[in-house]
Amino acid sequence: MSRLGPVLTLAAGAALAVGLGVASITATPAANNTAANSAAEAPAPEESITEAPAPQDTTAAESPAPEGTAAPAPEQTAPEQTAPKKTAKADYGGRVKGNGGLIAISIRDGKAIGYFCDGRTEAWFKGKETAGELDLTGFGEARITATLGDGQAKGRLAIGGKKWSFVAPTVVKPSGLYRATAMVRGARLRAGWIVLKNPQGGFTQVGAAFVGEEQLDVPELNSDRPTSPVTLDDTTIYPEDVDGFIQEMR
């Protein structure tokens, strides 16, 4: 009996050791599987990635508008409006057909004046020129209308209920329109002249002079130097060319 005691004790210890080993083997795979599953289920570590910008989608901008929806009309720019062209400087002179008188027209920066005279009757006109069209008015219903072009003013003259046509080519000094004013015995003296160079040489001139309402004999101008002083009714007067008085006429 004393011999079997240790043997049994050793056997029991061996059996216990074997049981613990089996238990250890069985438990280890389970732990490994749990770890593997945990690794599989754990989120992957975040990586530092810089995303490229998405390409711009131009499909919407280029695609046609849906049916039934009017596409917006393209914005239109209104054309620039330019002011009508005005003649900077021009002088015209010629004969009035069927009348025998002369007519002179001068334009400066769109402002225009005219003068008609046949030696007995005179008439002053003022107005404007725009885009080659001339419209001047005078006393009462006196009027000049004309079209400018091809180096001439072509139109109609109306005075005292009568009308005449005229063609007045461009002229250069000393041809043109002249005027003089002064005070004589408390009355205003005024005189006007038209000087035209003749195609065959020399000059033709016509004019009229008044002191108040009294008509006087008008002196003749020096055709080569029309602005030279002249004497009228014992008074020395100084004719001016159109550049000297056009701005005074309102």
pLDDT tens digits, residue range 29-76?
A: 333 343 334 433 444 444 443 444 544 544 444 445 455 555 566 666
pLDDT in tens, 160-184: 999 999 999 999 999 999 999 999 8
Establish whether the linkage from the previous residue to 72 is cis, with ω within 30° of 0. Answer: no
Output the CA angle 189-193-196, nearest 5 degrees. Answer: 170
Q: Which of 195, 111, 118, 218 is nearest to 159 (CA)?
A: 118
- Domain range list for the chain: 89-248
pLDDT of residue 82: 72
Report the mean per-residue pLDDT for the chain. 78
Give the pairing of strands 152-159 and 122-130.
unpaired
- Is a pLDDT exceeding 80 seen at residue 101? yes
pTM of the entire predicted model: 0.67
Beta strands across the sheet bearing 187-197: 214-216, 203-211, 187-197, 176-184, 240-241
For residue range 78-95, what is the model confidence (pLDDT) as tens digits?
A: 666 676 788 999 999 999
